[in-house]
Structure 1
């Protein structure tokens, strides 16, 4: 079914919100990072840079543009697609079940990986979705390059495989989801784990996986809590609402 104008406008607002949350959470500094969402088999909405670019924290729905998988589309007004658009499109090509892709540069995630620490489920009830996400394994793409062509982006997508997250060595991470909110929340959880790993190692400890019996006790809190309520909180943080 072809999306309506109303559908596209709502999706642009959702992506803009996701970009601002990323900036507020320190996942993407300055003008770096981008969010996309699949529209149909051949098109996606993606955060582009305009002629008066101010950075992710100031993203507006007008910054979200409709393009095809080759980057051709609505770029009027001096907008430019991200140099790393292939990072998004190769994941979407390889994973038809994926709707949203986030690329961010969390400092702690990069630092933890460069220090030799893999992202592991060392937390329990502190962040249940994060623990469950890490328990499945977080792959690492080992090349610290700009993923600006299909060949490199396809390598990254292959490293990701069927997982929802991949760490990019010396670069950042890519996360996926059913929508931009889920993809950003996953990035927040990975960042939380990375910061905790660095804190434990910095205090002289050795980061270790949660025991299997503890992981098995962690409940599925449900999408209504882990995403709907969690995302409402992230949006409220942007405006200072309580």
Structure 2
């Protein structure tokens, strides 16, 4: 536990942000961060499991892509999540990805089961989310526990090169070049799903943002879209 201190804190903070935002209300879900070609840090199940809201760096452990201890004695009483293959397969096949998020946002699951795709229905309200949705948010249509490489490969194939894939009747998987990016992608998809459900519940019709409006949306850069947004999320933590 004396190594990768800042990285463990980052993964722990990400878990707490997901819980605070309602994407992981219980004890299901996890976040990982690539360390090298063979190992990752991941939120593990501890002997006194309390859920993502109370994740500490002590819950974040170094393991191989196959789930073995990353260092001698690293795991102790902790165990990698059953769906570690979900993280490992994304990292194996997507070299540009450094972090993977898996969460169970109720609004995302509900919207998908209701037949609502994640669409660019807003504009400046959430510019990164709108652009993400415009590129497409695919769906892995199986409501299974992704606990082996076969199922993980199916999910990755459905995901393609997109940053987020929905898992029908299950949740979502989000990937990014950093932990904040992966978490913020998941938050945007959840925000859009909530908005779509609200519009439909109010009797409205979902309409994509016109192309001319999409073309007017600026890219405010990672310093604003990621760094400032991430500081905001951390500041909101209880």
Q: TM-score range by the shorter chain?
A: over 0.9
Would you say the 8 A contact 2:62–2:75 is kept in 1? no
**By how many angstroms is 1:97 displaced?**
1.1
Distance 1:96 1:8 in 2: 21
Deviates more, 1:199-208 or 1:142-151: 199-208
What does 1:167-186 align with in structure 2 at a 5 Å threshold?
167-186=166-185
Distance 2:236 2:126 in 1: 19
**By how many angstroms is 1:75 displaced?**
4.8
Which residue number corresponds to residue 41 of structure 1? 37
Distance 1:133 1:55 in 2: 29
Query: SS state of the match for residue 173, structure 1?
Result: strand
Structure 1: runs of 5 or more not aligned? none
Say if 2:50 is the partner of 1:54.
Answer: yes
Would you say the 8 A contact 1:51–1:77 is kept in 2? no
Deviates more, 1:201-210 or 1:167-176: 201-210
Which residue number corresponds to residue 189 of structure 1? 188
Which residue number corresponds to residue 221 of structure 1? 220
**By how many angstroms is 1:76 displaced?**
3.5
The two structures, once aligned, show a CA RMSD in angstroms of: 1.2
Distance 1:32 1:178 in 2: 23
CA shift in 2, pair 1:185/1:7, >3 Å? farther
**By how many angstroms is 1:86 displaced?**
0.4
Distance 1:121 1:238 in 2: 28
Distance 1:169 1:35 in 2: 19
Moved over 2 A (4+): 74-77
**By how many angstroms is 1:20 displaced?**
0.3
What does 1:79-94 align with in structure 2 at a 5 Å threshold?
79-94=78-93
TM score, norm. by length of structure 2: 0.96
1:133-169 alpha-carbon deviations (Å, 9 max, x no partner): 1010000000000000100011000110101100000
The number of residue pairs the alignment matches comes to 235
Which residue number corresponds to residue 108 of structure 1? 107
Would you say the 8 A contact 1:50–1:77 is kept in 2? no
**By how many angstroms is 1:77 displaced?**
3.1
**By how many angstroms is 1:6 displaced?**
7.4
1:150-194 alpha-carbon deviations (Å, 9 max, x no partner): 000110001101011000000000001111111111111000000
Query: SS state of the match for residue 238, structure 1?
Result: coil
TM score, norm. by length of structure 1: 0.95
Would you say the 8 A contact 1:166–1:173 is kept in 2? yes
Which residue number corresponds to residue 30 of structure 1? 26
Query: SS state of the match for residue 67, structure 1?
Result: strand
Which residue number corresponds to residue 66 of structure 1? 62
Distance 1:95 1:178 in 2: 10
1:56-91 alpha-carbon deviations (Å, 9 max, x no partner): 010000110000010000553310110000000000
**By how many angstroms is 1:7 displaced?**
6.6
Say if 2:11 is the partner of 1:12.
Answer: no
Which residue number corresponds to residue 158 of structure 2? 159
